[in-house]
Amino acid sequence: MAFCEIRRVLISDSLAPACAQILHSQGDIEVTECPGLTPQELISKIPDYDGLIVRSATKVSSDVLTAATRLKVVGRAGTGVDNVDVDSATKNGIIVMNTPTGNSISAAELTCGLILSLSRQIPQAASSMKQGKWDRKKYMGSELHGKTLGILGLGRIGKEVAVRMQSFQMRTIGYDPVIPPEVTAEFGVEQLLLEEIWEQCDYITVHTPLLPSTTGLINDAAFSKCKRGVQVINCARGGIIDESALLRALESGQCGGAGLDVFTEEPPRDRALVDHPLVISLPHLGASTHEAQNRCGEEIALQIVDLVKGRALVGAVNAPSLSKAFSPQTKPWIKLGEALGTVLFHLLPKISGEIRVTTTGDSLKNSGSFLCSAVAIGLLQSTEMKVNLVNSCLFANEVGIQMTSQHSVESVETRLEVSTEGLHLVGALSGSTPCLIQIGPSHFRSPVSLSGTVLLWAGETNIPKLLGVLSAAGSNLQTFHSSGGYSVAGISAPLSDPSPLGSCRQITL
């Protein structure tokens, strides 16, 4: 697959030396490290690179991605990708990947530290001591033992927080719209509806991505339903807690304190929350440990090396279905999907509406998603768009083609079928060679190789005329197949002028 060809990588943020070392030693990739580039400098440099690795400082905007004519992958050494325009990357056929496990422990430990700090006002008391004071009565705290912690977002970090705070004998409850309650019950978190969580919590911590559905998740309405004096922690993304609502809750006493490692604007120009006496504020330190930085740098480098070598695709944010496409067994099927899409493109004057991709055979049971993408590449070959497995279904949809997939158990044979209104194609592999088995009602006695150049007719074929045209053009007939109204010929070289053959379509595969 073309987007695996990664020869030069730009690292535009400060990363552990191991990142560049792994890329060079294991992937034979040339690495340039340029932390601190301005947006314009990045736009100027990026056309020379196949890969870009960032942390959170670099903003990978649409302008950067449009200028990146060679770029195949953007690697985010960390969890969130809100500094990358993922939609623009997808349209440009660029994989965006992150390291979902790299900083989980560090972020979870920081969250636990803020919960402890809030419960005993540790930073405020330490600051008071440095000012020469001895305010024992002023900094009366509370135990965590027996208190209830609400965890919004129960993925890797939420789980790690829960397990650690349970050691303080805290009750852990939570909410996650994706992870099933039976899964979170295994690590001691009872899942409830959001409306049931607010009133029960002494502490609430958020560990969700920043999405339209999570922006302002903790707002005025949520604070009004909480216990008076509830304390909140955000080590995820600024904006999940409505900062204006938090300030109002702090001033009224409805919120008893907040631990904030992230802000809507970073660094925050509005200092109202940062300077508030009940707020412990940090400069986005969730992943700022030596271990996390080494781990994230190593992970993103190894993920890119695996991509280059075609071994695996891990951490893809905008192409998760392709994670199953990286194996020696699946690559010939991807070639077959592209070939069937190409044949369909040449057979139909205009393609729109639903294209159904059906797989049969156990080995293709979970392959429908990436085979849909492969077929779409063949269908879109005449466009000027930069089409690959990352964006082909998106572009197909934009031109009125809806790709759907299903797996059929009606046949034990391993085959790939592509259907649209009025036409049905069936393909399979002969060894690792993509082959055509059926066009509409025409079943070919032997598989038709879909490689090189083929000529295809609907109707009878004048064999002597075909041989005469091929001979005059210096091309040899290698294979010929005819059945039920369709004929296919494989030839040794493309014809410069196939018009003497009438309705024949020349297809290069």
pLDDT the model gives residue 21: 96
Question: What pLDDT digit, counting tens, does each position of 340-384 carry?
Answer: 999 999 988 788 899 999 999 999 998 998 999 999 999 998 777
CATH superfamily of 104-281: NAD(P)-binding Rossmann-like Domain (3.40.50.720)
Calpha distance 84→119 (Å, rounded): 36
Asked whether residue 88 carries a pLDDT value surpassing 90, the answer given is: yes
- Give dist(CA 104, CA 435) in Å, integer: 46
pLDDT at position 39 over 90 = yes
**Is the pLDDT score of 324 beyond 80?**
no
pLDDT of residue 2: 43
Residue 60 carries which DSSP code? Answer: B
DSSP for 222-237, please give it: HHHHSPTTEEEEE-S-
- How would DSSP label each residue in 281-301? E-SS-TT-SHHHHHHHHHHHH
Min mean pLDDT across 120-124, 334-338, 461-465 is at: 461-465
The pLDDT value given to residue 4? 74
pLDDT tens for 196-245 read: 999 999 999 999 988 899 999 999 999 999 999 999 999 999 999 999 99
Q: Which amino acid is at 178?
A: V
Q: What does the alpha-carbon distance between residue 153 and residue 151 come to, in Å, rounded to a whole number?
A: 6
For 418, the enclosing helix (H) or strand (E) is: strand 415-420
Q: At what angle do helices 104-120 and 156-166 cross, to 10 degrees?
A: 40
Give this prediction's pTM.
0.77
- 319-423: what fold? 60s Ribosomal Protein L30; Chain: A; (3.30.1330)
Lowest mean pLDDT among 2-6, 53-57, 345-349: 2-6
* Number of other residues whose CB lies within 10 A of the CB of residue 156: 17
pLDDT of residue 322: 80
Residues recorded for the chain = 509
Q: Which of 110, 126, 235, 220 is nearest to 165 (CA)?
A: 110
What confidence score (pLDDT) does residue 472 get?
Answer: 86
152, 208 Cβ separation under 8 angstroms:
yes
Residue 239: half-sphere exposure toward Cβ, Cα within 13 Å: 13
**Token duo for residue 60:** 């990978």
Catalytic residue among 284, 346, 356, 407: 284
Q: Which residues pair with 434 in a beta bridge?
A: 429
Q: Where are the domains of the chain?
A: 2-101+290-318, 104-281, 319-423
What pLDDT sits at residue 406?
Answer: 95
CB atoms within 10 A of CB 197: 22
Side by side, the strands of the sheet bearing 30-33 are 30-33, 8-11, 51-54, 73-76, 95-98
Structure tokens at 471: 């001979």
Average pLDDT of 112-131? Answer: 97
8-state DSSP, 499: G
- Active-site residue flag, 295: no
Angle, CA of 30, 33 and 37, to the nearest 5°:
135
pLDDT confidence of 128, banded at 50, 70, 90? very high
Indicate if the pLDDT at residue 31 is higher than 80: yes
> Is-catalytic flag, 290?
no
Number of other CB atoms surrounding residue 280 within 10 Å: 21
Same fold yes or no, 2-101+290-318 and 104-281: yes
| Residue 1: band (very low, low, confident or very high) from pLDDT cuts 50, 70, 90 | very low
Q: Which of 237, 295, 415, 481 is catalytic?
A: 237
How many CA atoms within 13 Å lie on the side-chain side of 19? 31
Query: Percentage of residues in the chain with pLDDT exceeding 90?
Result: 78
Can you tell me the distance from the alpha carbon of 9 to that of 266, in angstroms, rounded to the nearest whole number?
A: 27
H/E run at residue 335: helix 331-347
In whole angstroms, what is the distance from residue 396 CA to residue 152 CA? 37
Mean pLDDT of 321-346: 88
Best CA proximity match to 321, nearest among 119, 90, 164, 32 = 90
Q: Is the pLDDT of residue 465 over 60?
A: yes
Dihedral sign, CA of 210, 212, 213, 218? positive
Q: pLDDT tens, 397-448?
A: 999 999 999 999 988 899 999 999 879 999 999 999 999 999 988 899 889 9
DSSP string, 90-134: HHTT-EEEE-TTTTHHHHHHHHHHHHHHHHHTHHHHHHHHHTT--
Distances from the Cα of 137 to the Cαs of 60, 103, 173, 206, 503, in angstroms?
Answer: 50, 38, 32, 31, 95
Q: What pairs with residue 51 in β-bridges?
A: 9, 73
| Whether 447 contacts 435, CB under 8 Å | yes
Give the residue with greater pLDDT, 187 vs 421.
187
Alpha-carbon span 359 to 414, nearest angstrom: 7
- Topology adopted by domain 2-101+290-318: Rossmann fold (3.40.50)
CA-CA distances (angstroms) from residue 464 to 461, 477, 505?
9, 12, 18
Task: Give the active site residue among 195, 265, 266, 354.
Answer: 266
| C-alpha torsion angle, residues 315, 320, 326, 329 (rounded to 10) | 150
Strand partners, 356: 404, 419
User: Is 186 among the residues known to form the active site?
Assistant: no
Q: Which pLDDT score is estimated for 421? A: 85
